């Protein structure tokens, strides 16, 4: 996905010029896929330019959505994007550290497109690397803290690299926040999965389900399942 200064969707647009994390396929996948039915309070952890929060606001007509980030540029940009959206009265961006959030309020849904890189040296001053590095938010801290911030029957939805699967399963077990849905994302038919969409939930009424999603055919045309998932958002779907 090309990274543009202004990315236009069907019902909103986002400026993503200053924030370290731009609009990308991972965020759009999560925003389109995460279950939002019945949620009245939602937390977007590492909101960046706010695209996931905006997608949830489009899909859920009642939820109050908080977007938090430790990057002030991201919060400045998300604030502008929220204010320009049709749902500005339900969206709020704040510069907060997820690890330091108080136990209240509780959330029906927590979503996150979290840091991916778990190894290597973190270059000083590289905002995008900081945004993508688990030195600031590990899977263990994201899942463990979420288990204490979720309301009764609340859920955590996130996207990860495929190789993070054992880490997330271990963190889920340790935090007593069970994995309920798992979707392996295949970039092109015939390739190995590169990402996993996760739903971890305290809701005993949600049964376990596992599946896969292929984004593109070998000729690079989008699959019908990807079109169906994202057609309410992308202009050309």
Domain CATH for 133: 3.40.50.150
Q: Is residue 188 in a domain? A: yes
User: Tell me, what's the pLDDT at 137?
Assistant: 85
Tens-digit pLDDT profile for residues 117-142: 443 333 444 444 444 434 468 999 99
Asked if residue 196 lies in contact with residue 26, where contact means CB atoms within 8 angstroms, the answer is no
Q: Is residue 205 in a domain? A: yes
Q: Is residue 71 in a domain? A: no
Note every long-range contact of 84-87, with CB atoms under 8 Å and residues 24 or more positions apart, other chains counting.
84/12, 84/13, 85/12, 85/54, 85/57, 86/11, 86/12, 87/54, 87/57, 87/58
Tens-digit pLDDT profile for residues 41-94: 999 999 999 999 999 999 999 999 999 999 999 999 999 999 999 999 999 999
Asked if residue 184 lies in contact with residue 193, where contact means CB atoms within 8 angstroms, the answer is yes
SS3 assignment for 81-118: HHHCCCCHHHEEEEECCHHHCCCCCCEEEEEECCCCEC
Asked if residue 120 lies in contact with residue 28, where contact means CB atoms within 8 angstroms, the answer is no
- Give CA–CA dist 224/195, Å, rounded: 19
Q: Is residue 55 in a domain? A: no
Q: Is residue 156 in a domain? A: yes
User: How many domains, the chain?
Assistant: 1
- The residue segments making up the domain with residue 208 are 23-47+95-230
Asked if residue 42 lies in contact with residue 92, where contact means CB atoms within 8 angstroms, the answer is no
Evaluate if residue 149 carries a pLDDT over 70.
yes
Q: Is residue 87 in a domain? A: no
Q: Is residue 89 in a domain? A: no
User: Tell me, what's the pLDDT at 236?
Assistant: 87
Q: Is residue 198 in a domain? A: yes
Instruction: Name the pTM for this structure.
Output: 0.90
The label of the residue with tokens 């999603």 reads: 213
């Amino acid at each position: 996905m090309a990274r543009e200064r202004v990315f236009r969707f069907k019902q909103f647009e986002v400026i993503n010029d200053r924030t370290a994390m731009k609009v990308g396929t991972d965020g759009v996948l999560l925003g389109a896929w995460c279950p939002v039915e019945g949620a009245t309070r939602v937390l977007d952890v590492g909101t960046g330019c706010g695209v996931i929060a905006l997608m949830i606001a489009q899909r859920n007509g009642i939820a109050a959505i908080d977007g938090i980030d430790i990057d002030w540029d991201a919060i400045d940009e998300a604030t502008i994007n929220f204010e320009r959206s049709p749902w500005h009265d339900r969206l709020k961006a704040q510069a907060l550290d997820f690890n330091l959030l108080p136990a209240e309020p509780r959330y029906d849904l927590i979503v996150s497109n979290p840091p991916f890189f778990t190894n290597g040296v973190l270059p000083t001053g590289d905002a995008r690397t900081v945004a993508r590095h688990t030195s600031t938010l590990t899977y263990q801290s994201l899942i463990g803290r979420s288990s204490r911030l979720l309301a009764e029957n609340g859920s955590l939805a996130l996207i990860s690299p495929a190789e993070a699967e054992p880490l997330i399963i271990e963190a889920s077990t340790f935090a007593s926040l069970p994995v309920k849905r798992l979707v392996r994302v295949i970039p092109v038919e015939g390739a190995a999965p590169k990402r996993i969409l996760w739903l971890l939930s305290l809701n005993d009424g949600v049964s376990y389900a596992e599946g896969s999603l292929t984004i593109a055919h070998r000729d690079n045309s989008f699959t019908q399942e990807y079109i169906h998932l994202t057609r309410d958002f992308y202009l050309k779907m």
